[in-house]
């Protein structure tokens, strides 16, 4: 059995009782960053073998992990924060498990884009999640495609690239398009800045930006 286990995106209390029980019961825990996950595991007194599983090694070890699962091991997969597979490693291992008829169970739990979307004040009956934008190759082509999108759009971004991305959105969607940038969700200094793309750009351009970022942008009217 492979368990996909969401972990808190900031507040350590945002984990389910079931997730804790499963983490205490499995044979092995896979973690995107073992140091980050160890903080959570130690907090809940979970003492299980832990191994790294991230984008730099997943292609090399996915076959070996599938063989362990076929042999009867139970494994839990964690990422640094949120639900594995949402702009984080998980897809390759899940696909391999399905290929070899290994049972996969994904627990419900924390993911950053849902609270950001809900508290944005923008229409959420129909939306699209786009994750991180391409950094260079294909970025302008992607933005031109999104210019015609009528659904509310959700993006992840790093604090270092936030202002640049907002500027790209202004050039693509226009300065008056409504948006919301959510930062440090569930943490002490959580911030949700709503307004036009120009207003939100100017707000973050005037100060240092820290924390994980979710950008929610109004679709084309």
The pLDDT value given to residue 165: 98
Pair 100, 140 in one domain:
no
Domain boundary among 106, 127, 151: 106
Please, which residues have CB within 8 angstroms of residue 139's CB and are 6 or more apart in sequence? 133, 168
Q: Is the pLDDT of residue 77 over 90?
A: yes
pLDDT per residue over 100-114, tens digit each? Answer: 999 999 999 999 999
The pLDDT value given to residue 136: 87
Q: Is the pLDDT of residue 137 over 90?
A: no
Q: Are 194 and 200 in contact (CB under 8 A)?
A: yes
Pair 47, 99 in one domain:
yes
* 152's tokens: 């509310």
Beta strand 213-217 with 178-183: parallel, antiparallel or unpaired? antiparallel
CATH value at residue 27: 3.40.1010.10
The percent of residues above 90 in pLDDT, for the chain, comes to: 99
Please, which residues have CB within 8 angstroms of residue 188's CB and are 6 or more apart in sequence? none
Quote the CA–CA distance of 189 and 2 in Å, as a whole number: 35
Quote the CA–CA distance of 32 and 191 in Å, as a whole number: 26
Task: Please give the span between the terminal C-alpha atoms of the chain, in angstroms, as a whole number.
Answer: 46
Pair 33, 89 in one domain:
yes
* 44's tokens: 């809940």
Domain count, the chain: 2
> Cα 147 to chain center, whole Å?
23
| Mean pLDDT estimate for the chain | 96
Pair 8, 51 in one domain:
yes
Domain boundary among 106, 126, 143: 106
The pLDDT value given to residue 205: 97
Give the DSSP H or E segment for 63.
Answer: helix 58-70
Q: Which phi and psi angles does 64 have, rounded to 5°?
A: -60, -40
CATH value at residue 136: 3.30.950.10
Q: Which domain holds residue 142?
A: 113-217
When pLDDT is averaged across residues 168-184 and rounded to a whole number, the result is 98
Binning pLDDT at 50, 70 and 90, where does residue 176 land? Answer: very high
Beta bridge partners of 29: 50, 76
Pair 102, 117 in one domain:
no
Pair 188, 173 in one domain:
yes
Pair 129, 182 in one domain:
yes
> Looking at the whole model, is its pTM more than 0.85?
yes
Give the DSSP H or E segment for 31.
Answer: strand 28-31
Which whole-number Å values give the CA distances from 122 to 110, 166, 203, in the listed order?
21, 17, 19
Domain boundary among 106, 132, 150: 106
* 79's tokens: 């990422």
Nearest to 131 by CA among 149, 156, 112: 156
């Amino acid at each position: 059995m492979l368990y996909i286990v969401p972990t808190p995106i900031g507040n350590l209390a945002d984990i389910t009782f079931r997730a804790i029980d499963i983490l205490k019961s499995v044979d092995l825990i896979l973690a995107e960053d073992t140091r980050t996950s160890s903080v959570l595991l130690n907090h809940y007194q979970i003492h299980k073998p832990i191994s790294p599983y991230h984008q730099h090694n997943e292609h090399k070890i996915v076959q070996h992990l599938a063989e362990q699962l076929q042999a009867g091991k139970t494994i839990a997969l964690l990422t640094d924060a949120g639900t594995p597979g949402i702009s984080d490693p998980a897809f390759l291992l899940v696909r391999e498990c399905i290929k070899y008829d290994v049972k996969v169970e994904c627990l419900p739990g924390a993911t950053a884009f849902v609270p950001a979307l809900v508290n944005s004040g923008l229409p959420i009956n129909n939306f699209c999640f786009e994750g991180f934008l391409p950094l260079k190759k294909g970025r302008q082509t992607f933005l031109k495609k999104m210019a015609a999108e009528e659904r509310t759009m959700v993006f992840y971004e790093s604090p270092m690239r936030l202002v640049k991305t907002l500027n790209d959105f202004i050039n693509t969607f226009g300065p008056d398009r409504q948006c919301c940038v959510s930062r440090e969700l569930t943490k002490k200094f959580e911030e949700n800045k709503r307004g036009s793309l120009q207003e939100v750009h100017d707000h973050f351009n005037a100060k240092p930006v820290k924390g994980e970022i979710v950008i929610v942008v109004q679709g084309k009217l």
